[in-house]
Amino acid sequence: MSGEPLIRWDWLFAHLGPIAERVGQHLYLAAIAVSVGFAISFALAALSIRRRKLYPFVTVLATAAYTIPSFAMFAALVAITGLSVFTAEIPLVLYTIVLFVPNIVAGFDSVPWDVLDAADGMGYTPGQRWWRVELPLAVPLVVAGLRLASVSTIGLVTVSAILGDSFGGLGYYILDGYKRHFTTEILVGGLLSIGLAVIADLGFVLLQRLLTPWAARRTVGG
Amino acid sequence: MMADEAGRAGHGSGSRTGAVSLEFRGVTKRYGHSAQARGAVNDLSLEVPAGAICVLVGPSGCGKTTSLKMVNRLIEPTAGQILLDGVNVLTEDVTELRRRIGYVIQHVGLFPHLTVGRNVAVVPALVGWSKERQLARADELLSLVGLDPAGYRSRYPFQLSGGERQRVGVARALAADPPLMLMDEPFAAVDPIVRERLQDEFLRLQRDLAKTILFVTHDIDEAIKMGDLIAVMEEGGRLAQFGPPDEILAHPASDFVARFVGADRGLKRLSLVTIADLELAPIAASAPPGLPTFSPSTKLRDALSVLLAADSRGGVALDEEGQPCGFVTVDAIASALAEDRQPAATRSGGVTRQGATGVGAAAGDDS
């Protein structure tokens, strides 16, 4: 094995098609987890904001879920949901909640009270105040949550490879390379997974710039 | 710069809706069971005639902000009525009511995510004006408060100084031409120099706009400067005295009011009067050269200060053209304090004192 090059380019070029498919699967698994996780978290955050007493319970439960090792959770779920997409998605979704909820709650908490006072005083209805003032002003921290959750989820998708060949996205190559002592596969799986996480993160940074031209930045213009 | 613009734009906008009279009738707000709780208000009754500035002033926790917020129902009274032109605000739709009342607060509360232009046009947008009309109105108001629309309408609030923010806050409150403005410490968050300029400009604006204004401050000097009428409130949310500034200064109704307006209330009264209000003595032929001179708009307080600093018993009053027209003495200034005057009339033309009811009548403790 010492004679093997770090990357066998011939293998790489011969597998471009399957690699692209794995990238697609990786993104698909991550996107579902982040979307569903976001929807559930938004509801939990809204509940926590309205009933502050619930917030600690939500946080404790979300954190408890996060402490379960992903490896163990995937394995345990097989007994319940079999080898379905749920087995992969349930842990991924659960892990996003602890990242989303505090950011969403903090986002709405960050709306200055004087802005809310002014909005009420000028005659916004509660619905108008929420859509036109609170939600837009919560965007920076909500997007911060999206960045965290997407980066974390893209990494975790690889672990679902233990469920079998039809899961794992790029994690398939990491696992397969490990079994076969084939470094090229491990590197391709690992590096592409990192690349996806970086691209997703930069994408959300860009999204935030577009959504919040009003936020004070280090380079203040005008 | 704001004066000419105010003159121009003011006539177009100020006369549209006119002003309303404002009356508190036995208004009480209790928090919990204690009548002494912070911010509580106890049986407040006062009348503000249309077009007047009424200042609620008092120590912190005296219920002045609570009183203001009960007008646009951000706080609901426990008992009593608040009437706008005789109509009880509690009978009106709360959203509609608020859109008809201008609201300016200490921390301004500009929407950080909206440009200055859209901030100003917030209420016009809520009540469904067309986009073009909103934009035109925003530009008109930015000019009115002394901000060049071309340079400011597309900026975001974080790109403004504190003083500029306050101006935008005032413009926003005026946007739908409300007949009544509520101003809660609107100039408290800026430094004293900017504050004074904003106060002066606002008084100049108000001469054209003639809105009814309820103004809250903890600063007695600001109250004296801004108010046609002053309502002094004390702990427990009680009205200690209500009347024009000169009356409050000349005849504090209680020890509390006397203490609150300060031991220098005589000097403060002098700042309500100018050289032009003074009866001048003829200039004596023997008057030495080099005496201090005063323009007609010099406040007597400042004139006195100049005379004392110059160690001079008298100075020369100049007319509008800068020609000497009379002699001002320390004694003449002192005697101005002996008169009971009606300074409200000298500031905002349309205001009469008919609405000035309340405990002000119980004056007399002038010792």
DSSP B253-278: SSHHHHHHH-TTHHHHHHTT-BGGGS
Please check whether residue A138 touches B, CB under 8 A.
no
pLDDT of residue B365: 39
Best CA proximity match to B58, nearest among B230, B182, B226: B230
For the residues B137-153, what does the mean pLDDT come to?
A: 94
Per the model's pLDDT, the better-predicted residue between B308 and B67 turns out to be B67
Q: What is the pLDDT of residues A172-181, one digit of tens each?
A: 999 999 999 9
- Contacts of B306-313 with C-beta under 8 Å, sequence gap 24+, read B307/B333
Q: Name the pLDDT band for B322 (thresholds 50, 70, 90).
A: confident
Candidates A118, A120, A220; nearest CB to B159 = A220
Cα–Cα distance for residue pair B273/B111, rounded to 1 Å: 41
Taking contacts as CB-CB distances below 8 angstroms, the residues of chain A near B122 are: 122
Instruction: State the smallest CA–CA distance between residue B360 and chain A in angstroms.
Output: 31
Of A118, A212, A216, the CB nearest to B109: A118
- For residues B195-223, give the mean pLDDT: 93
**% of chain B exceeding 70 in pLDDT:** 86
Cβ–Cβ gap B112/A115 under 8 Å: yes
Inter-chain residue contact A114 with B109, CB threshold 8 Å: yes
CA-based radius of gyration for chain A? 21
Whether B111 and A212 lie within 8 Å, measured CB to CB: no
Cite the beta strand spans of chain B per DSSP E: 22-29, 41-48, 53-57, 79-84, 87-88, 101-105, 180-184, 212-217, 229-234, 238-243, 293-294, 314-318, 324-329
Closest-CA distance of chain A to residue B62, Å: 20
Q: Cβ of B107 and A114 within 8 Å?
A: yes
B105/A117 touch (CB, cutoff 8 Å), yes or no:
yes
| pLDDT value at B14 more than 60 | no
**What pLDDT does B277 receive?**
83
Can you give the pLDDT at residue B273? 85
CA distance B297 to A7: 88
Residue B360 has pLDDT above 90, yes or no: no
Name the phi and psi angles at A92, rounded to 5: -60, -45
Instruction: Name the residue of chain A whose CA is nearest to B122's CA.
Output: A122
Q: What is the rounded average pLDDT of the residues B260-266?
A: 85
Adjacency order of strands within the sheet including B314-318: B293-294, B314-318, B324-329
Range in B9-13, B94-98, B209-213 with the lowest mean pLDDT: B9-13
Helices (H) and strands (E) in chain A, counts: 10, 0
Tell me what the pLDDT averaged over chain A comes to.
92
pLDDT band of residue A189 (cuts 50, 70, 90) is very high
State the pLDDT at residue B18.
77
- Mean pLDDT of the B304-315 span: 85
Mean pLDDT on B292-312: 86
In contact, B19 and B214? CB cutoff 8 Å: no
Q: For residue range A39-61, list pLDDT tens digits in order.
A: 999 999 999 999 999 999 999 99
Residue B289 has pLDDT above 80, yes or no: no
User: In chain A, which residue's Cα lies nearest the Cα of B156?
Assistant: A214
Residue with tokens 């809204």: A46
The burial class, CB within 10 Å (0-12 / 13-18 / 19+), for A50 is exposed
Mean pLDDT of the B284-296 span: 79
Average pLDDT in the B147-160 region?
Answer: 94
Q: What DSSP character marks residue B34? A: B
Note the pLDDT of residue A90: 95
Partner residue opposite B99 with nearest CB, options A123, A133, A136: A123
Closest to B180 (Cα-Cα) out of A131, A81, A121, A109: A121
ipTM above 0.90? no
Interface of A with B in 199-218 (CB under 8 A): 212-216
Here the tokens at position A125 are: 């209805």
Residue B340's pLDDT band (cuts 50, 70, 90): low
pLDDT at A219: 44
A137, A220, A221 member nearest B113 (Cβ): A137
Residue A12, both tokens: 């790489």
pLDDT at B13: 38
Q: What does the pLDDT average to over B327-334? A: 84
Q: Which of B98, B107, B113 sits opposite A122 (nearest CB)?
A: B98
Nearest to A151 by CA among A202, A103, A109, A114: A202
Minimal CA separation from A174 to chain B, in Å: 45
Mean pLDDT calculated for residue range B171-182: 94
Cα angle vertex B87, ends B86, B89, to 5°?
130
Q: Which tokens hold the place of B54?
A: 């009424």
Type and span of the H or E element at A106: helix A85-109
Least confidently predicted of A79-93, A94-108, B344-358: B344-358
Model pTM? 0.80
pLDDT, tens only, A18-43: 999 999 999 999 999 999 999 999 99
Confidence at residue A140, expressed as pLDDT on a 0 to 100 scale: 94
Q: Which amino acid is at A1?
A: M
CA–CA distance, A100 with B208 (Å, rounded to integer): 53
Share of chain B above pLDDT 90, in %: 58
Please give the domain boundaries of chain A with CATH numbers for all domains.
Answer: 9-213 (1.10.3720.10)
* Interchain contact, B111 vs A115, CB within 8 Å: yes
Residue A164 CB partners (closer than 8 Å, separation 6+)? A83
**pLDDT value of position B298:** 87
Tell whether A126 is within 8 A of chain B (Cβ): no
Q: Residue B123: pLDDT above 80?
A: yes
A114 contacts in B (CB within 8 Å)? 105-109
Judged by CB atoms within 8 Å, which residues 89-118 of A form the interface with B? Answer: 112, 114-118
Q: What is the pLDDT of residue B339?
A: 66
CB-CB contact of B182 with B65 (8 Å): no
- Do β-strands B180-184 and B101-105 pair in parallel, antiparallel, or remain unpaired? parallel
Interface contact flag, A119 B159, Cβ < 8 Å? no
Q: How far is B185 from chain A (nearest CA, A)?
A: 13
Q: Compute the mean pLDDT over every residue in chain B, rounded to the nearest whole number.
A: 85
B74 contacts A222? CB cut-off 8 A: no
The rounded distance, in Å, linking the Cα atoms of B320 and B1 is: 21
- DSSP labels, B6-30: HHHHHHHHHHHH----EEEEEEEE-
For an interface test with B, which of A111, A115, A122 has the most B Cβ atoms less than 10 Å from its Cβ? A122
Region B182-206 average pLDDT: 92
Q: Residue B74: list chain A partners with CB under 8 A.
A: 117, 120-121
Residue A22: predicted pLDDT:
96
pLDDT value, residue A3: 63
